[in-house]
Amino acid sequence: EVQLQASGGGLVQPGGSLRLSCAASGFAFDDVAIGWFRQAPGKQREKIVFIKISDGIPIYEDSMKGRVAMSSDNAKNTVYLQMNSLNAEDTAVYYCAATPRRLIVSALSTQTSYDYWGQGTLVTVSS
């Protein structure tokens, strides 16, 4: 059974940092692409970053570019999202998603390309 478990969300003050984790199981970790997305209250879900585990190069979208860094620990089947300089507009539920399909980079920018989704972790930025 494929599972993605996102964690690490919580309350953080404006300007603060947070690191989210996404633990994956049920598939060959090296063969997947994993992405981070978020959905703010009243807004559509948007993409943040994705990575093909096999090449380890994150591709950042404009939504949080320059303030986030995605990394992976293949030994733990886990990816991370380090978020810095957070502000109130970053308040959202953050999701990780994965696909085992070998897709081109442009396809991985599309949410519908992802076959498995975690339950999300809530990040609240507030003083």
Contact (Cβ atoms closer than 8 angstroms) between residue 53 and residue 72: yes
The tens digit of pLDDT for each residue in 29-43 reads: 889 999 999 999 999
Give the model's pLDDT for residue 1: 87
Residue 26 exposure: Cα atoms within 13 Å on the Cβ side: 14
| Each residue's pLDDT tens digit, 84-121 | 999 999 999 999 999 999 998 889 989 999 999 999 99
Confidence of residue 12 (pLDDT cuts 50, 70, 90): very high
- Residue 109: what are its φ and ψ, rounded to 5°? -80, -5
The CA distance from 55 to 51, in Å, is: 8
